[in-house]
Structure 1
């Protein structure tokens, strides 16, 4: 299958979407599929990512319409009214849209992305949601996908893997947290509060919020995927205190490294973690105590469930969705003729 993943990934550390799509593209290639970042005459399916086609660069609905009707992406889609494209009929490849939650819920305020993503979705033949929470919130905010499936994110097992021997927690808990975004809704205040608990050490990788005093949190800065995985293998657990995230790549990375998760019961967090961690409560002492008390069982469960967080499982889900969407599209074309 010839797949266009319409996203310009970068090798430098950045957000979770970029990291996941890099791993997904590599897995598609290992599976024997052809992959490009722009549609060609041979493209069978185009994977659209949320509301952008590169970090910080939003999709233009007109350009998506141009791909749908003409099978190409150029400046024409920026200037030509959509009704003109629609008069040309459908000559482009199948469009599958990976929906990135509802930006307003994650960021805490509305942005142009909240208008772009639903408009792009109306042009798609199939929608892939990253979690059930992602699907429900998208529908509640006016999304109208034609057909859909749910595929959680996955990571490269060659980078994110557990240590041979899990760390001991007798001498206290070493908790790791990570975020590319400094938005305070990532839960920085909770991380700082955890660092005040005796016997708990918190290490943070990424961009810390300038609005929150880190207190006892050790800040190690932005790390590459390899460096982050190495850090995770030295930790007892991940702390993920963000609100309303549809499918945190950080959670997936940590669990692939064999880490149980202390998580905020918000967004898709509980759905991802399952019984491999504990939810944050108002009493943080009790929260970390419940993890420590049953730590061995948590480690066993997350290691037994590790396959759920790997990119080969995610890639298989995407390919299945692509094939079904292509088959429906071909069937519809035959019935029209």
Structure 2
């Protein structure tokens, strides 16, 4: 069996999808089953809306190749109603040409059902996971006097939690805490330090040097950043939204729904600076190898592969082109 991931990998600072798929790629290389050429592969993993035209053309020319669609985010919640067209299109295309579908959380599945997902397809819920780089050594020593809190987002979208971070900037007790935000923020802070987006190794170092992680993104399917913070042994305070509430099972995590609950959750996790080594807890995340194998197990090897007609390829190409054009016109004319 040979596996390909139909995705353009990036080096340096990047989003959670790139982090996770790079980890998946590494696992398949270790297993000796990764194939760089999708044409020579038995299974090709398609990520969300990326390379849908290529996926359709591949299925049309090589119908025996089986496609696994990785679905999770619902884009119109973050990017506006125009993206609901794309969300529905992704689900409709997966219904037709996917041989197996991975949802990143129960929340993702529930949202896909609202958009017309065909539950008769082979599907499975598989949470993302973190690489060994993010796990903290038990002997890791902190050398700061205040309790160190981190938050992060590569996106400056307001639904990524900027309102809550702005609230903390005004109301957190900075005589007791120090807080840094890593990534791109749409607001300026007075007390919270801002760090530029970091690559995976540097991000891991920052996480392992902290005690607590705040995750305030709304309607997030399965945040890699949240998972990586848990892997690093941080206590986590997360917005009770999207798939984040499901991820709470993997670490020392308190959920919040409003600003008061946010401050109460932070206080509830902290006893004193002297006890900060006990803030985090051992996590029970699935190993990368386990997750990599689960992605393949969604495929029924005895079932005939799906097909993609030439007309469906044209339809995909037309729809994607039309969507891009609408996006450009919306950008120009508002």
Q: Which of the five TM-score ranges fits, normalised by the shorter chain?
A: 0.7 to 0.9
Which of the residues 50, 64, 73 maps onto 1:101?
Answer: 73
Residues 103, 110 of structure 1: 8 Å contact kept: no
5+ residue gaps in structure 1? Answer: 54-58, 72-90, 331-337
Residues 47, 97 of structure 1: 8 Å contact kept: yes
* Partner-residue secondary structure (3-state), 1:52: coil
Which of the residues 233, 237, 244 maps onto 1:258?
Answer: 233
Aligned to 2:197: 222
- Mapped partners of 1:173, 1:329: distance in 2: 56
| CA deviation after TM superposition for structure 1 residue 299, in Å | 2.2
- Mapped partners of 1:230, 1:135: distance in 2: 33
Aligned to 1:320: 297
Aligned to 1:77: none
1:197-216 matches, within 5 Å, as: 197-198=172-173, 199-209=176-186, 212-216=187-191
Q: Residues 170 and 19 of structure 1: is their aligned pair in 2 closer, same or farther, counting only changes over 3 Å?
A: closer
Q: Residues 220 and 204 of structure 1: is their aligned pair in 2 closer, same or farther, counting only changes over 3 Å?
A: same
* Partner-residue secondary structure (3-state), 1:222: coil
Instruction: Say whether residues 1:51 and 2:16 are aligned partners.
Output: no
Instruction: Say whether residues 1:124 and 2:124 are aligned partners.
Output: no
1:1-337 matches, within 5 Å, as: 1-36=1-36, 38-40=37-39, 42-53=40-51, 59-60=52-53, 63-71=54-62, 91-111=63-83, 113-122=86-95, 123-145=97-119, 146-157=121-132, 159-165=133-139, 172-196=146-170, 197-198=172-173, 199-209=176-186, 212-274=187-249, 276-280=252-256, 281-283=258-260, 284-293=262-271, 299-300=280-281, 303=282, 305-308=283-286, 310-321=287-298, 324-329=299-304
| CA deviation after TM superposition for structure 1 residue 278, in Å | 0.8
| CA deviation after TM superposition for structure 1 residue 247, in Å | 0.3
* Partner-residue secondary structure (3-state), 2:234: coil
What does the per-residue CA deviation read over 1:238-259, in whole Å, with 9 as the maximum and x for residues that have no partner? 1100000000010111111111
* Partner-residue secondary structure (3-state), 2:10: coil
- Mapped partners of 2:115, 2:56: distance in 1: 22
* Partner-residue secondary structure (3-state), 2:205: helix
5+ residue gaps in structure 2? Answer: 306-334
Residues 2, 34 of structure 1: 8 Å contact kept: yes
What does the per-residue CA deviation read over 1:262-312, in whole Å, with 9 as the maximum and x for residues that have no partner? 100000001012262111243133221111149666523xx1x2443x422
What does the per-residue CA deviation read over 1:35-73, in whole Å, with 9 as the maximum and x for residues that have no partner? 22x421x321111110113xxxxx23xx433322322xx
* Partner-residue secondary structure (3-state), 2:280: helix
Residues 101, 134 of structure 1: 8 Å contact kept: yes
Across the aligned residues of Structure 1 and Structure 2, the Cα RMSD in angstroms comes to 2.5
| CA deviation after TM superposition for structure 1 residue 174, in Å | 1.2
Q: Residues 68 and 238 of structure 1: is their aligned pair in 2 closer, same or farther, counting only changes over 3 Å?
A: same
Name which structure has the greater RCO, CA cutoff 8 Å, separation 6+: 2
TM-score by length of 1: 0.80
* Partner-residue secondary structure (3-state), 1:9: coil
Residues 14, 154 of structure 2: 8 Å contact kept: yes
Residues 187, 242 of structure 1: 8 Å contact kept: yes
Q: How many residues align?
A: 295
TM-score by length of 2: 0.81
| CA deviation after TM superposition for structure 1 residue 94, in Å | 0.9
Residues 177, 204 of structure 1: 8 Å contact kept: yes
Aligned to 1:333: none
Residues 154, 312 of structure 1: 8 Å contact kept: no
What does the per-residue CA deviation read over 1:94-121, in whole Å, with 9 as the maximum and x for residues that have no partner? 1111013311124354325324412331
Q: Residues 298 and 109 of structure 1: is their aligned pair in 2 closer, same or farther, counting only changes over 3 Å?
A: farther
